Amino acid sequence: MRHISRIGLYAFRRFAQLTFCTLVVLSANAQPLTGQHYELELRPDFKAGVLHGRARIRLQAEPGSGDVLVLRSPKLHIHRASLDGEPRPLEQARGGWRIPLTNAQTKASSLMLELDYHAEAAAGLVFGEDYVYTAFFTCHWMPCAGPDLSRATIAIRLELPAGYRSVASGQLATEGTPGRHEWQQTQPYPLYTLGFTAGHFNEVVDSEKAPRLRFLGIDQADTALRAKFKESARVLSFFEDKAGLPLPHPTYTQVLVPGGVAQEASSFSLIGTRMLDPILDDPKEDWVIAHEMAHQWWGNLITCATWSDFWLNEGLTVFMTAAWKQHRWGEDAYQREMVLAQQRWQSAKEADFDKPLSWPGNYPSLKSKRAIHYSKGALFFDTLRGELGEQAFWDGLRRYTRNNAGRSVRAADLQVAMEASAGRSLQTLFDAWVY
Ligand SMILES: [Zn+2]
């Protein structure tokens, strides 16, 4: 067994046994937790489209924690639960699973939760004939003892057919016995960025020098993978320069799968052929490589503390994709991205749904939310850049990135960094766009 470096627990206050309190804790804005460690043994059944799992979760009690443990994974089929080796009953409740604690367990400072479960294909758990991947909805394929924005460390052991390849959050820990792939994420990352993919992939490694760039693809020859991901090394050095920090992983894997997915995860990204294949006709069609790679810094390493600040992840990533295009393909390519963002923001205005970037309310649709978080967010970074000038803006972005690496952030963290570089208050600008 590997060393458990960080532990965490999620238990309820006594009153939270009531259903209405459960809903409060399960809401998207519940307080993110830190310090949990997950160990998963996963065996995908590709024919049935089912993932069989065993989880060991190290939980640490918070002061005043209560007598029910709640898992935010209603779609999982959990067959067995134990706490510190003691079998516990399970109740399926709206929004999750509840495990009552014994008296002694309510007083324990830490607990080991063990579960046997299986998950069926769902949003966030996608099966093909010879591949499987997870995307964003972490609680659909593993038991989550906390909100999606909680940071956790994880170790994933995959049992796979011979000849299959894999990637999971973190780095390959051991080759192990044939068919057994062990991955470890030793820095805590948000739950929604944790995941894995496995399949009958072809593999190309672009460079053995760190950081290593690795490409995986279904039905993709080496030459095709190399051609499609040709720009990756250049994108990487551009972002490392602008972030002021190296890529936070020794290896970064881009996985090409059928369909239209475009999803970042810690240490890897999933890219659908529909998103990337246009690059064969027009090399400027590289946005998906840039966008998902940018998330390794902005989104994964530095994450919004609440979903209402999701624009800090996405607005910055859309902007950085445009900045990459400007660097690689020229001013017109940058302006095209800004015009597109203007058009999308305009559609939100026309629908009478223009909101401040950090607006905490509910959007009527994903489209209107994206118009604000992605498009207006990118335009705000472009406006900041115009206001501060090149040197102060990029200095401010590096300051923001370095100061917040590994942290969860709010809009004020960006403001502090930009003001330090500008040498003046930006309150009026932030009031107009953000708050
Ligand atoms: Zn994104």
pLDDT in tens, the chain (435 residues): 322 222 223 332 222 222 222 222 222 334 556 678 999 999 999 999 999 999 999 987 665 557 888 898 999 999 999 999 999 999 998 889 999 999 888 888 788 999 999 999 999 999 999 999 999 999 999 999 888 999 999 999 999 999 999 999 999 998 667 899 999 999 999 999 999 999 999 999 997 778 999 999 999 999 999 999 999 999 999 999 999 999 999 999 999 999 999 999 999 999 999 999 999 999 999 999 999 999 999 999 999 999 999 999 999 999 999 999 999 999 999 999 999 999 999 999 999 999 999 999 999 999 999 999 999 999 999 999 999 999 999 999 999 999 999 999 999 999 999 999 999 999 999 999 999
Q: How much distance in Å is there from the Cα of 378 to the middle of ligand 1? A: 11
pLDDT given at position 209: 77
66 and 174 co-located in one domain: yes
Distance CA 154, CA 82 (A): 19
Q: Quick one: how far is CA 148 from the chain centroid?
A: 9
Query: Global pTM?
Result: 0.91
Is 5 part of any domain?
Answer: no
pLDDT given at position 66: 74
Is 384 part of any domain?
Answer: yes
Domain boundary at 235, 268, 294, which?
Answer: 294
Is 368 part of any domain?
Answer: yes
Q: How much distance in Å is there from the Cα of 51 to the middle of ligand 1? A: 26
Q: How much distance in Å is there from the Cα of 366 to the middle of ligand 1? A: 13
Confirm if 404 and 413 have CB atoms less than 8 A apart. yes
Is 171 part of any domain?
Answer: yes
Q: How much distance in Å is there from the Cα of 329 to the middle of ligand 1? A: 21
Q: Which two tokens mark 70?
A: 């709640």
Q: How much distance in Å is there from the Cα of 80 to the middle of ligand 1? A: 36
Q: How much distance in Å is there from the Cα of 403 to the middle of ligand 1? A: 21
Q: How much distance in Å is there from the Cα of 392 to the middle of ligand 1? A: 25
Is 109 part of any domain?
Answer: yes
Q: How much distance in Å is there from the Cα of 264 to the middle of ligand 1? A: 7
Domain boundary at 153, 170, 198, which?
Answer: 198
Q: How much distance in Å is there from the Cα of 314 to the middle of ligand 1? A: 5
Is 6 part of any domain?
Answer: no
Is 9 part of any domain?
Answer: no
176 and 217 co-located in one domain: no
Q: How much distance in Å is there from the Cα of 171 to the middle of ligand 1? A: 22
45 and 75 co-located in one domain: yes
270 and 312 co-located in one domain: no
Confirm if 169 and 184 have CB atoms less than 8 A apart. no
Average pLDDT, the chain: 90
- The total domain count for the chain is 3
